[in-house]
Structure 1
Amino acid sequence: MKQMRFLVSLFLSLIFLGSCQSQKEEQSDGWKPLFNGEDLTGWKAVAGDASFSVENGEIIGTAVEGSPNTFLITEEMFGDFILELELKVEHISSNSGIMARGQFDPAARDGKGLVYGYQIEADPTDRAWSGGVYDEARRGWLYPLDLNPKAKSGFKLGEYNQYRIEVIGDEIKTWVNGQEVAYVVDDMDQNGFIGLQVHSIQNPEDAGRKTYFRNIRIKTVNLDPQPFNEDIFVVNNRKNELTDYEIAHGWRLLFNGRDSEGWVGAYKETFPDFGWSVSDGILSIASSGGGESTFAGDIVTKEEFSAFDLAFEFNMSEGANSGVKYFVTLSENNSGSAIGLEYQILDDEKHPDAKMGRDGNRTLSSLYDLIPAQKQSRFIKPPGEWNKGRIVVQPDNKVEHYLNGVKVLEYVRGSQEFRDLVAISKYKIWENFGEAPEGHILLQDHGDQVSFKNIKIKTLN
């Protein structure tokens, strides 16, 4: 009997020591579980009527008809962290996501509550933006996967997908099934909850569709950020400041945020001494009545560029007209604005130029007078707010325009299709228009107040 009691005591001691060792290992590497695999202790559902249950070590969210987005959120708040979990979507209608530093306003929507903030997308549709960063119920898309199309193949419908989310300082990085996806630099929220989303449904027949979550763990100490190995575009919302990652991958500022260094007036040797100004890290042209280059005039980079990736932010006044031109040679010696391919900046609602041209080819983000931008209104910020533009010119002359992270057009310089468009445009009088091997970048003075910041460029080989 004594021997039996000794063996039982020894067995319990070994279990206790093993448990202590496991806890020490957990503490030593910093990871801790957010879901215990048995119940929803530490979590609460808010903002909608979808249900959450636990079965077989999984959290199961079930969609219901007539409910807005529903979130299962942690009671604990987090600042810097690395989060890993697995997520499964069984049907194409079951859009989902993971809130990172999420926020909740319980008084919103007549007391029903509103979740808002950074959300890492789970998108089972053909759009395939899983792992992208969305600002739920606030600014909309921060990182659509048009910015990293290679990552669109990472997510698998009907299978568990491994997500890794790093939120450290003002940087957010995401992975899906080991694929590097999104890189956002933004400081709007410094802490918040982790949340699991069951999206609202559009069709009654999709009621009862399920989304699954498991193996949810977080690290808030001993953080060891994982570097991106691929060359990924960074959505950087710092003002005129590059990350070390961007610098290492060849990006540099074209506007330093302090003065006009690197810029001169078009057809001039110096920067205009009126009209253009630099204040609080913003480069602006003043309003002067809407005339094309009749006031201070356009400004151009001193450098010329051939193949490049150019990103910039612009903020236009109501009814404004302006543009960013590229492959500007200054060889035409024309009156008015210097000649070049133009990324159109325009208030489509208030400026008459939007209804001129052909098939909308003078609207915002279009290749002016040549190719209309294919864009949705929800990706356009109104006058007074900042929009993000991007122009990519590959060494093979393929060109892309982006607006707020979404690709709106593409074409090939010098192709027959391009030349046919030039032949029926206002540019037909210029020989070999748009086909120069290199040229300046130009910011246009079209007589309306427009501001620029975060102008950065990377040369492409």
Structure 2
Amino acid sequence: MKKTQIIKLSVMSLMTSLCLAQCTPEKKQQSDEWDYLFDGKTLNGWTKITGTADFIVEDSAIVGITRSKTPNTFLVSEKQYDDFILEVDVKVEDDFGNSGVQIRSHYDPDGKNGKGLVYGYQVEIDPTERNWSGGIFDEGRRKWLYPLSLNPESQKAFKKGQYNTFHIEAIGHEIKTWINGVETSYIADDADARGFIGFQVHKIANPKHEGIRTYFKNIRIKTKNLKSTPFKKDVFVVNNLKNELTTYEKDHGWQLLFNGKNGQGWVGAYKDQFPASGWTVNNEILSIEASGGEESANVGDIVTKNEYSTFDLAFDFQLTEGANSGVKYFVTLSENNPGSAIGPEYQILDDKRHPDAKKGRNGNRTLASLYDLIAAKKQSRFVKPVGEWNKGRVIVYPDNKVEHYLNGAKVLEYHRGSEAFRNLVTQSKHKIWKNFGEATEGHILLQDHGNKVSFKNIKIKELK
């Protein structure tokens, strides 16, 4: 072969490699693993539903454009998918360009009084200062599943005004997201196993925000020979599977405190065995039955057999109307007092119907508060109504900083043993207990306050 022919072949090979990496989707070669869902020229294979915002094709990208006086608008795939790995490049140029990528989603044309309802998992696109891009929202149903307050280190991954690569894996019950290679969200959930893929143009409240553009390009999917990508860093998993842990959680030190079958690992406070009645396990749910609304006057509290010092504790709870309960920690059982055992308490309460919500000081006896000490600062959209499951979480760090969360949103923090904490104790009903809340370790307690309250998915990770 002549030298000039070799040079020509080398140049052609280089150009082909560059095109595969940089050309628009319609010029890229389809691989055996990836399929492109957008041809770069038309909206073939896609349908617009629920709203009247515009979707156009421009410069090999799908462009969603906001319009006033319309609800959320979605462009959805005509094909449905179950397990997949999806990648899409997204650009938003304005703070008010809220959007999202729908996965395993559905459409009810009769929903919202005949206006149509889209519901299902949405990977958030959030260009605001909140920076929750990559979080997971349950559109039209449960709302936030994974706000990025659960993974604040990932909030800087999304860059406004430039294209960002979203990598989304939905394999089995697990959904994980990355933005520009940064691990953002991780949930285990069984609400939807299959559905369409879509893009949202969010409704706007102010007509001045009409015309905001969101761009989607290089939309590709893999549905065969799937292999889940493990998260490298230690992140919190929102696990909605009933009393199960993912392999990732087990590998990172999480343990179940309730096995879904019986009271193993728990005993009655000041007792040596699990109560024979009052506390029940049915359908993998642990409940304290109603007994008149008095504190520990019937069956009494239950506590873990083990004691804990620094930990991440998560639990799901369900209130009945007007109910009161709590999750306490650093319970030493040394006081031998009548009524509920002593320890800092994550308050569980029906704020609207129980009178305790109006007692105390400045709301410090309301839901998710540090009972009688610090009020939880919570938004109503992060509170699930009575009868639905809420998610509580308490983190105690090695430096004695403590955080309370409600449904993924942090609602308070404090430092055990600090001067500020001790000052609060002197103004509370806990002032009669020496060194309240400052034990080096203690039991976890579920409170019997005479009302029916249920628990599941109770898990803990000891911190070092």
- TM superposition score category, shorter chain reference: over 0.9
Partner of 2:250 in structure 1?
247
Partner of 2:342 in structure 1?
339
Corresponding letter in the other structure for 2:41: E
Q: Could you list the per-position Cα deviations for residues 270-290 of structure 1 after superposition, in whole angstroms to 9, with x for gaps in the alignment?
A: 111111111111111110001
Partner of 1:178 in structure 2?
181
Partner of 1:6 in structure 2?
none
Q: Distance in 1 between matches of 2:99 and 2:282?
A: 42
- Is there any run of 5+ residues in structure 2 with no aligned partner, and where? 1-11, 21-26
State yes or no: 1:75 paired with 2:78.
yes
In structure 2, which of residues 151, 160, 163 is the aligned counterpart of residue 160 of structure 1? 163
In structure 1, which of residues 381, 397, 402 is the aligned counterpart of residue 400 of structure 2? 397
State yes or no: 1:120 paired with 2:130.
no
For residue 159 of structure 1, report the CA deviation from its aligned partner.
Answer: 1.2
Partner of 1:291 in structure 2?
294
Corresponding letter in the other structure for 2:122: Q
For residue 24 of structure 1, report the CA deviation from its aligned partner.
Answer: 12
State yes or no: 1:57 paired with 2:57.
no
Moved over 6 A (4+): 22-25
Q: Normalised by the size of structure 1, how large is the TM-score? A: 0.94
Corresponding letter in the other structure for 1:342: E
In structure 1, which of residues 257, 264, 267 is the aligned counterpart of residue 267 of structure 2? 264
Corresponding letter in the other structure for 1:346: L
Q: Distance in 2 between matches of 1:274 and 1:107?
A: 46
Identity %: 64
Q: How does 1:35-114 map to 2 (within 5 A)?
A: 35-114=38-117
- Is there any run of 5+ residues in structure 1 with no aligned partner, and where? 1-13
The number of equivalent residue pairs is: 442
Partner of 1:204 in structure 2?
207
Q: Normalised by the size of structure 2, how large is the TM-score? A: 0.93
State yes or no: 1:150 paired with 2:159.
no
Corresponding letter in the other structure for 1:388: K
State yes or no: 1:189 paired with 2:192.
yes
Corresponding letter in the other structure for 1:139: R
Q: Could you list the per-position Cα deviations for residues 92-116 of structure 1 after superposition, in whole angstroms to 9, with x for gaps in the alignment?
A: 0110100001111122234432211
In structure 2, which of residues 351, 359, 363 is the aligned counterpart of residue 348 of structure 1? 351
Q: Is the CA contact (8 Å cut-off) linking 2:392 and 2:406 kept in structure 1?
A: yes
Partner of 1:311 in structure 2?
314
Q: Could you list the per-position Cα deviations for residues 164-195 of structure 1 after superposition, in whole angstroms to 9, with x for gaps in the alignment?
A: 00011111100011110111111111111110
Q: Distance in 2 between matches of 1:297 and 1:108?
A: 45
Q: Could you list the per-position Cα deviations for residues 39-73 of structure 1 after superposition, in whole angstroms to 9, with x for gaps in the alignment?
A: 11111111101111111111111100111111111
Partner of 2:5 in structure 1?
none
State yes or no: 1:132 paired with 2:135.
yes
For residue 252 of structure 1, report the CA deviation from its aligned partner.
Answer: 0.5
In structure 1, which of residues 429, 444, 447 is the aligned counterpart of residue 447 of structure 2? 444
Partner of 1:230 in structure 2?
233
Corresponding letter in the other structure for 1:150: E
Q: Quote the RMSD (CA, aligned, Å).
A: 1.6
SS at match of 1:218: strand
